[in-house]
Amino acid sequence: MGPDIVKLLPEFDASRLQEELFALGGERFKPQATYSEGEITQSLTDGWRVLSLRGPGGDPERTDPGGPGLVDYADTPLMQMAPYTASILKGLDVPLRAVRYMTLEPGASVAEHTDYPYGLPVGWARLHLPIVTNDHAVLVMDGVENRWQPGELWYANFGRPHHLYNRGSQPRVHLVVDCYVSETLLELFPARARQAMDPTGIMFWREEITASSDELRALTGPVTVPAGFIEAYAEPPSPEEFESAGADLQGTLRVADGRLVLHMDGLYESALVCVGEREFRPLCWTEERTMKFETVNGVLRISFRYRHGSYHTEIVRSNGPGQNDL
């Protein structure tokens, strides 16, 4: 699926980026947090802090990248305080998710890990725009040391194992831009990198299609959800793994604020975005997971789907009690 690390075509004015960063002030930064399976967890890594320009609901207090939920991504009030940075983001012309300044203080390090699901096969990318750095601030991916420079824009497949450290005397600050994968994103890649890509293995973002109230209400009611549908997978699950993740879960489908909402007490709640033909993805997610509704012989059946590039697997359940002996 093409190279894992690519310097993208645009370059920007590092001094203007630094001026806006310094004007915001370091006291606004908060500990980095992660999002996994509906839980927001603050990082225990000292010296790893975040300032959010865009995130779930436009909440500047959230430093995590977000995930399925009831509110979409929106700019935080801090975006207005960084007009040059905002103009860069607009000029990229990509569908944005979270946008965060992320700083690694001198002496700090982040242990090897993977960020998933990330990458072109699952429909979103993480871009880095370095703002402040030094020669001793290093990202290591697959054993290769990377020292990206201020004003450059980089793509990396952070689904690969990586770690980072700052052994220098000044902080390392990057603007980290999470976005959905679109044709306009691929236009930022050099021609050689684009030629190395297999388009059949790329998951492209699709605009939301508005479903009528009547269409949505017809899908509401109790729902049986395979446990595998809400599991996080570092690698694509086999059909057997997807099916056998655990006992089925019980939930409900309702309509709120013009969208279908999947709710399971204490486990999961997300609005669902229609992408066409009665297929829905979780809000703030990609089509890595979708629910496809079909009526067969008067019975409403739901295909719970997992996708990774050209690979997909699914589990079918019926919406209603006593209907799942399939």
The CATH number assigned to the domain holding 37 equals: 2.60.120.330
> What 3-state DSSP class applies to 202?
coil
User: For the sheet containing 279-282, what is the strand order?
Assistant: 221-225, 249-256, 259-264, 268-276, 279-282, 289-296, 299-308, 311-318
Helix/strand number for the chain, H first, E second: 6, 22
Domain limits at 233? Answer: 213-318
pTM (two decimals): 0.93
Q: Where among 200, 226, 243 does a domain terminate?
A: 200
| Tens-digit pLDDT string for the chain (326 aa) | 568 999 999 999 999 999 999 999 988 999 887 666 556 666 657 899 999 999 999 999 999 999 999 999 999 999 999 999 999 999 999 999 999 999 999 999 999 999 888 999 999 999 999 999 999 999 999 999 999 999 999 999 999 999 999 999 999 999 999 999 999 999 999 999 999 999 999 999 999 999 999 999 999 999 999 999 999 998 999 999 999 999 999 999 999 999 999 999 989 999 999 999 999 999 999 999 999 999 998 899 999 999 999 999 999 998 754 344 33
58 and 35 in a common domain: yes
220 and 298 in a common domain: yes
Contacts of 322 (CB under 8 A, 6+ apart): none
Q: Where among 147, 169, 200 does a domain terminate?
A: 200
290 and 149 in a common domain: no
Tokens of 313: 């697997």
State how far the Cα of 112 lies from the Cα of 315, in Å rounded to an integer.
33
Q: Where among 172, 200, 228 does a domain terminate?
A: 200
